[in-house]
Amino acid sequence: MAAAQLQRLIEVMHRLRSECPWDAEQTHESLIGYLVEETLEVVEAIEHGSDADLVEELGDLLLQVVFHAEIAAEAGRFSIDDVARGIADKLVARHPYVFAGADVPPDLVGSWEQRKRAEKGRTSALDGIPERLSALSRATKVLARASAHGVPVSIDESDDVGARIMALVAQAQAAGIDAEQVTRAAVRRVEQQVRAAESSG
């Protein structure tokens, strides 16, 4: 049962915080690098791994969630139950056409963004976009948010390399393509060429 295994993981984490010196000394801040790394490993497993790889990497990412919740629970701030309740409540509130009998909105993404903006009291379509996103991912997010909020954006397609890249991101988004993902794939193809050239030379 899923609930039983999740409870087991919580108990394992609780014991590690009590009995393992390394786990006991970790903080939210010290775990940031691991959280980013585990997230990227999930992406790699989705793009190039097997189901077994994805199960393993999702488990590592789930561990990070449980780890952070355990640290907070020890300080009496919040628990893993609060985390799960918060996301479940958010999903129900943002899907009234699933849980409250409302009509399905014609623009699901725009509707989602408008609800987020109202809930969080945001004054700009750009509020809440993480600063640490890669430039390509951030460009995609900025364009998507502007579109969802009806904010017009003019892309400069001058000879400036950055502007040309931004224009390509806009074209990719309009075509439903993830610019970050296809760029990673292109980089991997070049890496394969480099390795092939090195092994044959």
Check which CATH number belongs to the domain holding 55 and give it.
1.10.287.1080
Clarify whether residues 12 and 81 are in a common domain: yes
Is residue 109 domain-resident? no
Residues 6+ apart with CB under 8 A from 30: none
Is residue 29 domain-resident? yes
Determine the average pLDDT of the residues in 1-6. Answer: 84
Q: Can you read off the two tokens belonging to residue 113?
A: 């963004």
Clarify whether residues 142 and 62 are in a common domain: no
Is residue 165 domain-resident? yes
Clarify whether residues 79 and 133 are in a common domain: no
168 pLDDT higher than 80: yes
Structural element, H or E, at residue 129: none
Q: Which of 2-16, 29-43, 150-164 has the lowest mean pLDDT?
A: 150-164
Number of Cβ within a 10 Å radius of residue 117: 18
pLDDT tens digits, residue range 63-99? Answer: 999 999 999 999 999 999 999 999 999 999 889 999 9
How far apart (Å, rounded) are the C-alpha atoms in residues 146 and 121? 17
146 pLDDT higher than 70: yes
Range of the domain at 75: 2-91
Clarify whether residues 56 and 130 are in a common domain: no
Is residue 194 domain-resident? yes
Q: pTM to 2 decimals?
A: 0.72
Residues 6+ apart with CB under 8 A from 144: 109, 173
pLDDT score, position 116: 80
- Quote the mean pLDDT of the chain: 89
Determine the average pLDDT of the residues in 197-201. Answer: 80
Q: Are 17 and 31 in contact (CB under 8 A)?
A: no
How far apart (Å, rounded) are the C-alpha atoms in residues 63 and 80? 11
12 pLDDT higher than 80: yes
Determine the average pLDDT of the residues in 115-119. Answer: 79
**Helices 80-94 and 51-74: angle between axes, nearest 10 degrees:** 110
Count of the separate structural domains present in the chain: 2
How far apart (Å, rounded) are the C-alpha atoms in residues 182 and 177? 8
pLDDT score, position 158: 74
Determine the average pLDDT of the residues in 186-193. Answer: 86
